[in-house]
């Protein structure tokens, strides 16, 4: 079930994502294009903060579709992801119907109807009369039982409700699953998906991304900032800076009126990109002391 309204080429897909403020590289543009033309889900893996979730959001903006997001977590089950019955409403219906009829089986049939169903994100995406983008975010936080529950949806874009039967999608959803690669996903799930690995971008690409979102940042300062961010990512940190945090830092430097990143500027704004106490100490020592204007006489010395 392919989307006939999708861009007609990878180049068009790349342009549409760029118009939605997402600078996709060739693999991301190709997989996004194929997802719509072939009607297949996309599994996007990579480190936290490289733009996996943002790709789904950009596909939503580029296609004009509503974004339906299922945020995964440990212990997520079918009732929170697919559907559950509205027990309070069912109980009231039972009480009302029991006063009218004597047939208990008829009452039970009446309460297992769509009007008593509470739709959760997966069912909302399948049942929507309009095409949507379904984001299943951080699937690696769930267990294999949850993955198994997804297989019918990912294969046939339908779900089965025992009391109602099969509910199939009438429109083609774009399905994006993201994973931070914290555990190995099952082969059954991977087999049903197109695959995309996203990593931190190269320097020039990250500069383009930063300048797209902070266009007033001078090119020389943008380059210097991205170089520093890459130095920070090269350390053994609990949480390396994400691309979103690079953009936040660029906007911060603009608000500070900075024309360079010296020791004082770096020290004042470092918490925008470094957010663990132990990381702050490490970054201050390994990177901060290399900034112009750093105190002399340190173990690392001053780099110009």
Q: Which of 9, 34, 78, 282 is nearest to 175 (CA)?
A: 34
230-238: average pLDDT = 96
Q: What is the pLDDT of residue 114?
A: 73
pLDDT interval class at 102 (50, 70, 90): low
pLDDT at residue 248 greater than cutoff 80: yes
Q: What is the pLDDT of residue 300?
A: 41
Contact by Cβ (8 Å): 190, 148: no
Q: What is the pLDDT of residue 78?
A: 86
pLDDT interval class at 298 (50, 70, 90): very low
pLDDT at residue 171 greater than cutoff 60: yes
187-211 pLDDT tens trace: 999 999 999 999 999 999 999 999 9
Phi, psi of 213 (to 5 degrees): -95, -15
How big is the chain, counted in residues? 304
Q: What is the pLDDT of residue 232?
A: 97
Q: How far, in Å, CA of 84 to CA of 79, rounded?
A: 5
Q: How far, in Å, CA of 114 to CA of 119, rounded?
A: 9
Q: Of 117-126, 160-169, 171-180, 197-206, which range is least confident?
A: 160-169
Q: Of 13-22, 146-155, 161-170, 211-220, which range is least confident?
A: 161-170
What's the whole-number average pLDDT of the chain? 90
pLDDT at residue 304 greater than cutoff 70: no
Q: Tokens for 177, please give them.
A: 């699953």
């Amino acid at each position: 079930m392919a989307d006939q309204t999708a861009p007609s080429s990878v180049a068009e897909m790349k342009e549409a994502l760029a118009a939605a403020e997402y600078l996709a590289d060739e693999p991301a543009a190709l997989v996004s294009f194929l997802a719509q033309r072939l009607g297949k889900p996309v599994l996007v893996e990579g480190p936290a903060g490289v733009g996996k979730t943002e790709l789904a959001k950009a596909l939503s903006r580029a296609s004009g579709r509503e974004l339906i997001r299922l945020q995964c977590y440990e212990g997520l089950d079918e009732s929170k992801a697919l559907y559950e019955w509205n027990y309070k409403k069912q109980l009231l219906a039972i009480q009302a119907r029991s006063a009218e009829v004597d047939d208990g089986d008829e009452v039970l049939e009446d309460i297992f109807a769509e009007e008593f169903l509470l739709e959760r994100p997966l069912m909302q995406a399948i049942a929507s009369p309009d095409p949507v983008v379904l984001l299943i975010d951080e699937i690696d936080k769930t267990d294999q039982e949850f993955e198994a529950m997804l297989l019918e949806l990912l294969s046939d874009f339908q779900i089965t409700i025992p009391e109602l039967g099969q509910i199939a999608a009438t429109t083609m959803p774009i399905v994006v699953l993201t994973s931070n690669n914290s555990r190995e996903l099952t082969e059954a799930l991977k087999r049903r998906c197109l695959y995309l690995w996203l990593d931190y971008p190269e320097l020039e690409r990250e500069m383009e991304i930063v300048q797209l979102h902070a266009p007033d940042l001078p090119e020389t300062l943008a380059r210097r900032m991205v170089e520093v961010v890459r130095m920070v990512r090269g350390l053994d940190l609990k949480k390396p800076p994400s691309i979103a945090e690079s953009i936040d830092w660029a906007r911060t430097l603009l608000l500070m009126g900075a024309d360079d990143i010296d020791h004082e500027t770096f020290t004042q704004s470092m918490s925008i990109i470094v957010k663990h106490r132990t990381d702050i100490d490490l970054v201050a020592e390994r990177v901060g002391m290399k900034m112009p204007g750093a105190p002399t006489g340190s173990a690392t010395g001053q780099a110009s």
